[in-house]
Amino acid sequence: MQHKNLVTAIFCLVFTVLSGFAQDTLDVARQLDSLENSFTYQTGKISLPQGEADLSVPSGFKYLDPKQAQFVLSKLWGNPEDTSVLGMLIPENIGVLAPSSWAFTISYDPMGYVKDDDAAEIDYDDLLKEQQKDAKESNKIRVEQGYEPVEFVQWAATPYYDGKQKTLHWAKELKFGSDSSHTLNYNLRVLGRKGIFLLNAVAPMDALPEVKQHVATVINSVAFREGSRYSDYSPGVDEVAAWTVGGLVAGKVLAKVGFFALLLKFWKLIAVGVAGLGSAAWKFFSGRRKSTEEAPEA
């Protein structure tokens, strides 16, 4: 009889704990839905605030303006703040809080006219080794700033330069800290007369096929206006960039503060929905409630 009472007591305790956990999980789900629904997305033609160019939001995507994009990147995804972001392209069927969320960030660098004379001469195997070495050195800065070290594992897509369209793209497979799940960093560049547009996709590695199928449409969604196109370059008048096409691939990507690294671990917890979700997610939202209330459109 005593044994039966003990089992009953344990059952009641477990039931009480699980009931509380279920309620916490439900509250978190409501918070997620409320926050997701607070964003204002756009489609169609967008006049970009820098670079004298327009963005035609490609089919299958939706656009977040600079303020909302910066909020998502820094407050929700845990990246360093970067005011150079001009917006984000997000798959129309995936929200920014979804477990499988990913996006293309958009920014502009007025570095000048990038010469492409070296495009056909680059040895990307050697460049890979150099980049891996640079990543290790830049980790000192990242760790000092409170971020995990990054390992450049390999090319996820070998660099490719389109000499006719004046566009460049490549992808890296990255490992953050001790995370067993690797991250995809897909880089797109659109060259213009006075600078370049940078469109970067950061996603889990298993999203590579999906990201890759959109590269062509996304890279062609940004168009410089007449007078600012690559072909409008005026020798002796316009500034020439210190970077060539090879330099763009080899350059300041990992060392740059604005390099994006999604906190994929957190969103995986939401997807799995196992022990710790309720308390971890509740702390996440309660700790950022003030920031959320101050967020643009949120």
Whether residues 249 and 276 share a domain: the answer is: no
Whether residues 235 and 287 share a domain: the answer is: no
Whether residues 185 and 288 share a domain: the answer is: no
Whether residues 286 and 225 share a domain: the answer is: no
The lowest-confidence range among 99-103, 208-212, 223-227, 283-287 is: 283-287
At 121, the pLDDT band (50, 70, 90 cuts) reads: confident
Handedness of CA 249, 252, 257, 263 (dihedral sign): positive
- C-alpha closest to that of 197 among 52, 91, 61, 47: 52
In a domain, 267, yes or no: no
Q: How many Cα neighbours within 13 Å face the side chain of 150?
A: 30
Cα-only R_g, the chain:
22
Domain that holds residue 27: 2-37+272-294
127-186 pLDDT, tens per residue? 899 888 888 888 888 888 887 888 899 999 999 999 999 999 999 998 888 878 888 889
265-276 pLDDT, tens per residue? 333 333 332 223
User: Any idea what the CATH number is for the domain that residue 173 is in?
Assistant: 3.40.1000
| Alpha carbon distance 183, 250 (integer Å) | 19
Structural domains in the chain (count): 2
- Using DSSP's 3-state secondary structure scheme, residue 148 falls into coil
Whether residues 162 and 21 share a domain: the answer is: no
Model confidence pTM above 0.85: no
